[in-house]
């Protein structure tokens, strides 16, 4: 009569397999979150946006793209146009890419779409085309979310990003800087008017964007 199999042998083998599986999952997750290579000084970066990028209400050198350039040593082209929509920026983008040949493009659009009640589906489609065009040109896009219009959010200083940005970033597989603009515009001391940062707000926004780009790997 054979001796019964020792339960401890089964348990040891089972535990070993679980450990190996867990290690494999951790390794795959780590590989999926590999950082981008840092951009050296002199790299060309395009900031594509509306008045939040153009620097409505502040001097050009006080807007966050110029402050980001000073912080990093990059050549940051301010491609912000006050009042622009995602559709308008989509039309402007080919010429900007051909002229400047950026390494990365920071896309800050959608605020005017929401204010003008443009259908969210149209904004999502336009942003998708913008991000795809950037990638097709050999550059790497980074999407920045703008706050959804909210009377309560403005009154209680608690704005939040519109939820469709996360969807667009996931679909296009691009990094998203989700909370930087909403956090700045939630602070009354950082605003020059209800919709735009003042010089202190742009300085804070520049810091937040830099920190996010550092986390992604582009800045150091």
Domain locations along the chain: 44-216
User: According to the CATH classification, is domain 44-216 in 3.40.50.1110?
Assistant: yes
Per-state percent for the chain, helix, strand, coil, to nearest 5 = 55, 15, 30
The SS3 call for residue 32 is helix
Any catalytic annotation for residue 193? yes
Any catalytic annotation for residue 187? no
Q: Supply the pTM of this predicted model.
A: 0.83
Q: Which of 51, 86, 186, 206 is catalytic?
A: 51
Any catalytic annotation for residue 43? no
Which of 7-11, 100-104, 177-181, 212-216 is the least confident region?
Answer: 7-11
Q: Which of 186, 196, 202, 206 is catalytic?
A: 196
Q: What's the rounded Cα separation, in Å, for the pair 131 and 74?
A: 21
What is the arithmetic mean of pLDDT over 123-152?
A: 93
Instruction: Please give the residue that has the higher pLDDT: either 208 or 35.
Output: 208
Model confidence pLDDT, tens digit, residues 36-91: 999 999 999 999 999 999 999 999 999 999 999 999 999 999 999 999 999 999 99
Instruction: Please give the residue that has the higher pLDDT: either 8 or 186.
Output: 186
């Amino acid at each position: 009569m054979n001796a019964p199999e020792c339960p401890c042998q089964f348990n040891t083998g089972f535990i070993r397999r679980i450990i190996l599986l867990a290690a494999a999952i951790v390794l795959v997750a780590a590989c999926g979150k590999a950082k981008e290579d840092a951009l050296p000084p002199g790299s060309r970066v395009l900031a594509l946006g509306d008045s939040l990028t153009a620097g409505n209400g502040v001097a050009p050198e006080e807007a966050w793209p110029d402050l980001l350039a000073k912080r990093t040593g990059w050549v940051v082209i301010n491609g912000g146009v006050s009042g622009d929509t995602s559709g308008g920026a989509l039309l402007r983008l080919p010429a900007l890419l051909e002229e400047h040949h950026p390494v990365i493009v920071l896309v800050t659009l959608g605020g005017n779409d929401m204010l003008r009640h443009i259908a969210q589906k149209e904004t999502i489609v336009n942003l998708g085309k913008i991000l795809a065009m950037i990638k097709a040109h050999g550059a790497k896009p980074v999407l920045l979310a703008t706050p959804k219009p909210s009377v309560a959010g403005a009154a209680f200083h608690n704005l939040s990003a519109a939820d469709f940005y996360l969807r667009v970033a996931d679909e296009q597989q691009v990094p998203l800087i989700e909370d930087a603009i909403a956090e700045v515009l939630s602070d009354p001391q950082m605003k020059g008017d209800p919709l735009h940062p003042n010089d202190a707000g742009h300085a804070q926004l520049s810091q937040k964007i830099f920190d996010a780009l550092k986390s992604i790997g582009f800045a150091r």
